[in-house]
Structure 1
């Protein structure tokens, strides 16, 4: 059992070390951070969608932005599209589950907003449809996926592709990136000079 624990920790460390060596990914993280800071300067909001563990990430990130990450400050507008059970079940029943996020993007998204679409595969139909709806509404689209080529590659404005094909490692890395973005946004908008 101890060997298994050590292997899991080592695999997580190796994935994060691969992030440090991926110049394109590091550059894309900086671009995304700058874009989100500018979004808040322009009174935009962030919509976040994901399924399963990625739904939990969407809720976690929205909570960090609306509440706080590390600094005491005013709340920032962010909405996890995974949290309203009445919308999810009504849209799922009337239109099909694959449109639950797209319909919310259509209703809530504006051209100065951003969609963060989280999918370890990058091919989840409900997330792909959300990105398509966001593009139609004029939203900037950020994709968080794993390393494999995927449908979101062609749809999103920018991709943050984790250097792994293993779902747990991708999800752990997504959380790292989400925390980094929250910290960078918060420190840039609210840190005392």
Structure 2
């Protein structure tokens, strides 16, 4: 019991003494934060029993650790642990010797302005000094967190933080506290500069195809997906400040995107010498709609069908189509390419190819066709291919 109590008291004492070196702990955090903001990589270098600390810290920087930032998310940070694992001991150690395992990794990965953080008791581990020397030569910033005796590596470091203990156990415990503190300082700085995303923020929007209301976390802004209801491809909108937001274009002012051709209202006028002529009277039923043209059925209003205007192949017409999809109609000019008698009734079926579409009409047709929003379409031969 007394031995256990003594061990805990020694740990508490060593940790308490870290307060006296708080300025150095913060300085370590600033060095690493500067490297990260410069797009560089941090390498945690360690051997033997200190290797697990390097691997543990790297995992926390890549993942998430601090509970103080609940409800927030940050990007993974490029932290790599340079240690000795079984494959390196076998592949590198057998060919070059175990002293060169860290050095070979430094030559492979470390670049100018990267940061190398060394975890050691006193720097006497085999190959550690050589690896730090190579890091300096390659232009990296070098930092060491060591025990009380660090004469072997201090001259190779831009900053050396000595823990006031010679015990390996106390040094390891203090190094873990220092790493967690450094992590928190960097994370707090990222939160202060707005690099965190509030994961609790919700983006709510409507599917442009079926008007299904969709809610997603804000971190998915700009990503592609599918509507859970109609399964068309969608892109999650990116919110804009209200001051920067613009009014939607006519092609984006949609009401209902899922509709039948029976819900469309068609108006056709013949063109004579470029001017509007007589309107086609009777019942006009849209049967097919594409970016190339339309097909519609014309049924006269009266028995005296011969007295009403009809269309012939080659006639130029003005088309105005109101759909439930948009607040403004789709308008343009076209040419009659096909005329067929209506089966079993008076009237005719016309195939029309678009010659010119008015402003944004082409965009509207493209959106309708891409989203496959028209139902109950009679897929006769395309008017555009006639």
Q: Normalising by the residue count of structure 2, what TM-score does the alignment of the two structures yield?
A: 0.47
Q: Tell me, what secondary structure is at the counterpart of 2:123?
A: coil
Contact 1:145 1:161 in 2 (8 A): yes
The answer to whether the 8 A contact 1:82-1:88 is kept is no
Structure 2 match to 1:30: 26
Q: Match of 2:12?
A: 13
Tell me the residue number matched to 1:40. Answer: 36
Find the counterpart in structure 2 of residue 157 from structure 1.
158
Larger radius of gyration: 2
Across the aligned residues of Structure 1 and Structure 2, the Cα RMSD in angstroms comes to: 1.6
- Aligned pairs for 1:98-109 (under 5 A) are 98-109=99-110
- Where relative contact order (Cα < 8 A, 6+ residues apart) is larger, the structure is 1
* Alignment partner of 1:69 is 2:59: no
**Higher strand fraction (1 or 2):** 2
Give, in angstroms, the shift of residue 62 of structure 1.
0.5
Q: Does the 8 Å CA contact 1:105/1:130 hold for their aligned counterparts? A: yes
Structure 2 unaligned segments of length 5 or more: list them. Answer: 195-386
| Distance in 1 (alpha carbons) for counterparts of 2:4 and 2:85 | 36
C-alpha deviation, 1:191, in angstroms: 5.2
Query: Aligned residues, how many?
Result: 189
Contact kept? 1:59, 1:83, Cα under 8 Å:
no
Partner deviation per Cα, 1:94-151 (whole Å, 9 max, x = no partner): 1111111111111101112111111112221222121011011111011111011421
* Mapping for residues 113-132 of structure 1, pairs under 5 Å: 113-132=114-133
The Cα shift of 1:88 comes to 3.8
Deviations 1:35-89 (A, max 9, x none): 1111111001111121222100010110011111224321000111126543342
Greater per-residue helix proportion? 1
TM-score, normalisation: structure 1: 0.91
Distance 2:110 2:164 in 1: 30
Residues 132 and 155, structure 1, Cα contact 8 Å, conserved in 2: yes
